[in-house]
Amino acid sequence: MAGMTFAQKALAAAAGRERVEVGEILFVEPDVCLSHDNSAAIIKTFGSMGAERVRYPERTAIFLDHCVPAADERYAANHKRIREFVAEQGIVHFHDVNRGVCHQVLAEQGLARPGGIVAGSDSHTTTAGAFGAFAAGIGRTEAASIWATGRLWFRVPEALSIELAGEFPPGVGAKDLALKIIGDIGADGALYMSVEFSGPAAAGLSVSERMLLANMGAEMGAKNAYLPPDEKVERFLEGRPEPYESRPLFPDEDAEYARRLRYDLSEIEPGLACPHTVANYAPVREKAGTRIHQALIGTCTNGRIEDLRAAAEVLRGRKVARGVRLLVFPASSEVYMQALKEGLMEVFLAAGAVVMNPGCGPCLGAHEGVLAPGEVCISTANRNFKGRMGCKEAEIYLASPETVAASAVAGEIALPPAYGKEASREG
């Protein structure tokens, strides 16, 4: 009998089973149920189901991040209803408009842990897979049902193995790799699958880079994404709250994968997702010179301290080009504070950037920097769907923080300055 993938092991453990097979339907009790501003709609569904009490207030996490502070009366009313519900139900993990993007704050609050089961009413819930959790996006009815009953069914997914080897060239990083993979396999290349990264280069990635890969798993159609937890994850979680116990799980050597891919990081170059799909890949060099109007650094994809450092490195002593707006959104208040201490915010302000509050910002078109018809934006976000940033007649390119910062300075799509500089890595 073949071994088990991570997804099989995680769901088997959660269901109290020795072994489960791909395709099986299991009822499990998630360790965490995540939701955000959409909690207002979930509350309505919860009520219409006839539910009265949240089964596990201590496993329920609500973050206000999508439109914070509220841009209009409708969002304000939704936020108000959510705060009332949190108080009525004694929801334990509630983070108001000051705290940041749900996936980042989830991690900072120790809610994303090895072996944990995280169900989140947001498609990028896959991010928590960076900590070795089984983390999947769900919808409103499902979230309401977890609130009411504490459990949800899952189908044990097929799995896609992505083995990583080698080292990134200077100026190249996890975002460039993610865009390349999605370009190769398509927006449904990992549909319903558990995307499980492995290999020496996966172990070499920082927690931040792992979060990026797991986050972008959603853009391959993945059910969940996974990176093997190790001492880097332990170090990240040290000193943070421990709402449940870590249970590190690793796929068996002889696990059965529906498909296997291998990437050598040394072959990756700065990349882009061109309008209007994430799978529309092009190397930056092919689009260099494309005029831009807005540049965005932040979101759950690239708003961490490592991303801000990389962008600041490019922007230090430089100015944003005339006619370009550079918006910087730290992913959380913790990231914001750290960036302040490191003097990064001074770099951004001196360069002419607009530094915004932690949150999703204009990524989903709600407010804080939506686009006008005919405008072009280069963004570190994870989606460039037509109309995503509020305007259906605007174009969005996705790229790494280094590429976005370099483009903001150039006023057009440009390669990160570090790329191609020190190709000599002998010894």
Q: Which of 299, 331, 328, 310 is nearest to 108 (CA)?
A: 331
How many residues in the shown chain lie near other proteins by CB under 8 A? 53
Q: Out of 204, 275, 390, 411, name the contact with other proteins by CB under 8 A.
A: 390
Q: Which ranges of 18-109 does DSSP label H, i.e. alpha helix?
A: 39-48, 73-89, 102-108
In the complex, the smallest distance separating the C-beta of residue 159 from other proteins, rounded to whole angstroms, is: 13
Taking the C-alpha atoms of residue 92 and residue 102, their distance in angstroms, rounded to an integer, is 15
Contact 295, 202 (CB under 8 A): no
Part of the chain binding other proteins (CB under 8 A), chosen from 98-106, 162-170, 184-192, 304-312:
184-192
Distance between CA 344 and CA 341 in Å, rounded? 8
The torsion angles phi and psi of 385, rounded to 5 degrees, stand at -55, 150
The yes or no reply on residue 366 touching other proteins (CB under 8 A) is yes
Please name the residues in contact with 81: beta carbons below 8 A apart, sequence gap of 6 or more: 40, 43
**Residue 151 interacting with other proteins (CB under 8 A):** yes
What gap in Å lies between CA 219 and CA 211, rounded to an integer? 14
Distance CA 61, CA 26 (A): 23
x/- string (CB under 8 A) for other proteins, residues 89-128?
A: -------------------------------xxxx-x---
364 binds other proteins (CB under 8 A): yes
Residue 3 per-residue DSSP state = B
The residue within the footprint of other proteins, chosen from 13, 22, 49, 165 (CB under 8 A), is 49
Binding flag, residue 8, other proteins (CB under 8 A): no
Rounded distance between C-alpha atoms, residue 253 and residue 35, angstroms: 35
The span of 177-185, 199-207, 326-334, 385-393 binding other proteins (CB under 8 A) equals 385-393
Q: For the CB of residue 3, give the shortest distance to other proteins in the complex, in Å.
A: 24
Shortest CB 381 distance to other proteins, Å: 12
- Strand segments, DSSP code E, in 78-175 are 93-95, 117-120, 134-137, 152-155, 159-165
Report how many helices (DSSP H) and strands (DSSP E) the chain contains, helices first.
15, 18
Selected range binding other proteins among 55-63, 221-229, 300-308, 344-352, rule: CB under 8 A: 221-229
Under the criterion CB under 8 A, does residue 63 sit at the interface with other proteins?
A: no
Among candidates 141, 117, 133, which has minimal Cα distance to 48? 141
Binding of other proteins by 27 (CB under 8 A) = yes
> For the window 248-287, what string marks contact with other proteins as x by the rule CB under 8 A?
-----------------------------x-x--------
Reference 301, options 245, 379, 200, 232; nearest CA is 379
Q: Does residue 63 contact residue 36 with C-beta atoms inside 8 Å?
A: yes
Rule CB under 8 A: is residue 191 a binding residue for other proteins? yes
**Of 153, 200, 234, 343, the one binding other proteins by CB under 8 A:** 153
Q: Which of 221, 229, 298, 359 binds other proteins (CB under 8 A)?
A: 221
Q: Does 234 bind other proteins (CB under 8 A)?
A: no
Identify which range of 137-145, 307-315, 398-406, 418-426 contacts other proteins by CB under 8 A: 137-145
Spell out, one character per residue from 66 to 85, where the chain touches other proteins: x when CB under 8 A holds, - when not: xx----x-xx--x-------
Give the residue, chosen from 270, 365, 369, 401, that forms a contact with other proteins under the rule CB under 8 A: 365
Alpha-carbon distance of 200 to 400, in angstroms, equals 23
Footprint of other proteins on residues 321-350 (CB under 8 A)?
none
CB-based burial label for 243 (10 Å; 0-12, 13-18, 19+): middle
Residues found near other proteins in the complex (CB under 8 A): 25, 27, 37-38, 40-41, 44, 49-51, 66-67, 72, 74-75, 78, 120-123, 125, 137-142, 144-145, 148-149, 151, 153, 155, 187-188, 191-192, 221-223, 277, 279, 364-366, 383, 385-388, 390, 392
